[in-house]
Structure 1
Amino acid sequence: MGGRSMYYIIPLSGDPDIGRKLAPLIGGKIVNIYTKEHPDGEQYIRLGDSVSGKRVLIVQSMFPEQDRKYIELLLAIDAAIRAGASRVDVLVSYLAYARQDKVFLDGEPISVGAVLKGIRAVGAERLYVVEPHSEVASKIYGEDFIEIDGISPLARAFTGEKNIAIFSPDLGGVERAQRLQSVMDSISGVYYIEKIRDRYTGEVVSVIREDIDLKGKTVLIVDDIISTGGTIANASRLVRGRGASKVYVACAHPLFIGDSINRIRGAGVDRIVCGRTVRRTVDGVEYIELHDHIARRVLESI
């Protein structure tokens, strides 16, 4: 890097301190910013340092107050471009509005598409996203979309654990569970909870295959987002009912809405391990810092 900063880094209000921890790892320099809120609630941003001719990386997490964090990001991108930055890239540790990536009913938007197109339209080039919930986000944004694995780094919390069965709450999350398996030892298998429709009542029920033996085993439930905790609580009750001796949970994005943490604990979960992708923290949760992992991915892509 020849002593020069690779990136001028602008950490925004949602950033869970990833930007400042990332700076020394990638040869970056932190840019000071001034923000305020107008009486009507609108946001104001001004860069406190020159970025003219520099490559800028803006760091944001879009939770809580998703709408506010998104607008702040757009304003920061525009400010950096108007200040003469040679290039503006963005790192989003939690991407909001990624749940809806297809139209289910007439009249609906594709929310992740609208959000990503806005980031691109205002002038951002490369977009790094930690564990995006949407499978089509990269197709929408294009080749400058860089996905960062937010699941594998959680394995360090389970070093020394033996005889673990990894579970995904559904078939769609099996790939995440397999990523975690690939960097862990002593895994007895990777499974998922099946959804079956009762042919008499039409009700969809969650089940575990009869041939899966969980007696005396530690089960690790893996998901990308914990919101209300209902999915995790349901999965925990199912594996406990099949004889699991311990139940752990690992997730990339710990939102923990309302009474979710008590709902999860009440369902028999012993440990909760999450990536540090949002600013808000909850007591009783183990948080894994991701800045070193993110730094490697950023350096690989440059």
Structure 2
Amino acid sequence: METDTLLLGFGDYREPARRLADFLGLGFREVEIHHFPDGESRLRLPPELPPRVILCRSLDHPDDKLVELLLAAGGARELGAGELILVAPYLCYMRQDKAFHPGEVVSQRIIGHLLAGAFDGLITVDAHLHRVHRLSDAVPTRRSVNLTATLPMARFLERELDRPMLIGPDAESEQWVAAIAGHEGLDYRVARKERFGDREVRVTLPGADYGGRDLV
């Protein structure tokens, strides 16, 4: 087992982080978190850390997670970690990459620089990049890696489903849907989406023969 690197996980993402550590041959420890009644968190890390620390947490429902992640990163630095790498399979706040109305905050840029100030490297999967095409432009760490899951997804769908057809909900999704479909020559369509609010959406499917197809 490698001794100069430790993977730290969080309770809400414990098992995927542990499996990653096992796959890489790394030690695994969980960040201990206590939540106070006022909403604040107290974190506890292993008192002795190796030179390189990987923090693994998926950043869905991100606001509380981000604060705890930054606390963990700062604490790891104080305990002697020289290199910090964030593994975030889902990377939050990437959608808002432009101010669409006066005064609107471009959260991608702000959160990206916040993470870059705390971590030396970042690994994520299929980050939601639209007008920004490189992950390093959104999160300017020394090393930023945007992996893609399109190939294993395509192989899974081809293996498990009968005549699968992929449906993208809107034009923006076509980049991912087309990439998945392209690996195995799968059929796909892209719907038209009209948004009337955060939870009010109308989706119109394109014309196609959907009979007998496994729709994804």
Report the TM-score range of the alignment, normalised by the length of the smaller protein.
Answer: 0.7 to 0.9
Which whole-Å CA distance do the structure 2 matches of 1:168 and 1:37 have between them?
39
Match of 2:2 among 1, 4, 21: 4
Alignment check: 8 A CA contact 2:59 2:91 kept:
yes
One-letter amino acid of the counterpart of residue 125, structure 1: D
Range with bigger deviation, 151-160 or 140-149: 151-160
Q: Shift of the alpha carbon at 1:169?
A: 2.6
Match of 1:133 among 99, 116, 128: 128
Partner of 1:145: 144
Asked if residue 54 in structure 1 is aligned to residue 20 in structure 2, the reply is no
Structure 2: which 5+ residue stretches go unaligned? Answer: none
Larger relative contact order, structure 1 or 2 (CA cutoff 8 Å, min sep 6): 1
The secondary structure found in structure 2 opposite 1:15 is helix
For 2:180, the equivalent position in structure 1 comes to 180
Are 1:32 and 1:49, in contact at CA under 8 Å, matched by a contact in 2?
no
SS at match of 1:7: strand
Counterpart Cα distance in 2 of 1:95 and 1:60: 9
CA distance in 2, matches of 1:83, 1:127: 20
User: Are the counterparts in 2 of residues 31 and 48 from structure 1 also a CA contact under 8 Å?
Assistant: yes
Q: Distance in 1 between matches of 2:78 and 2:97?
A: 32
Give the C-alpha shift of residue 130 in structure 1.
1.9
Work out whether 1:111 is the aligned partner of 2:107. yes
Is the 1:23–1:30 Cα contact (8 Å) retained in structure 2? yes
After superposition, give the CA deviation of every residue in 1:107-129 in whole Å (9 maximum; x if it has no partner).
111112111211122x3111111
Q: Cα–Cα, structure 1 residues 194 and 38, in superposed 2: closer, same or farther, change >3 Å? A: closer
The amino acid that maps onto 2:42 is Y
Q: CA deviation at 1:194?
A: 4.9
**Matched length:** 208
Deviations, residues 205-237 of structure 1 (Å, cap 9, x unaligned): 9xxxxxxxxxxxxxxxxxxxxx96957xx35xx
Once superposed, what is the RMSD of the aligned Cα atoms?
A: 2.8
Counterpart mapping for 1:88-237 below 5 A = 88-121=84-117, 123-135=118-130, 136=132, 137-142=135-140, 144-155=143-154, 156-159=156-159, 161-184=161-184, 187=186, 189-194=187-192, 230=201, 234=203
Task: Find the counterpart in structure 2 of residue 248 from structure 1.
Answer: 215
Where in structure 2 are the equivalents of 1:27-38 lying within 5 Å? 27-38=25-36
CA offsets, 1:40-87, max 9 Å, x none? 211111113521x421110112233x2101101101111111110120
Conserved 8 A contact 2:6-2:53: yes
Match of 1:63 in 2: 60
The partner residue of 1:72 within 35, 46, 68 is: 68
SS of the residue aligned with 2:11? coil
Letter in 2 for 1:129: T
CA drift at 1:140: 2.4
TM norm structure 1: 0.61
Asked if the contact 2:5–2:26 (Cα under 8 Å) also holds between the matched residues in 1, the reply is yes
| Alpha-carbon offset, residue 179 of structure 1 | 1.9
Secondary structure at 1:106's aligned position in 2? coil
The answer to whether the 8 Å contact 2:21/2:28 transfers is yes
- Give the match's secondary structure for 2:167: strand
The equivalent residue for 1:42 is 40
Take 1:91 and 1:229, find their aligned partners in 2: how far apart are those partners?
33
Give aligned-pair identity as a percent. Answer: 23
Q: TM-score, length-normalised on structure 2? A: 0.82
Cα gap change, 1:161 to 1:32, in 2 (>3 Å)? closer
Does the aligned pair in 2 maintain the 1:7–1:55 contact within 8 Å? yes
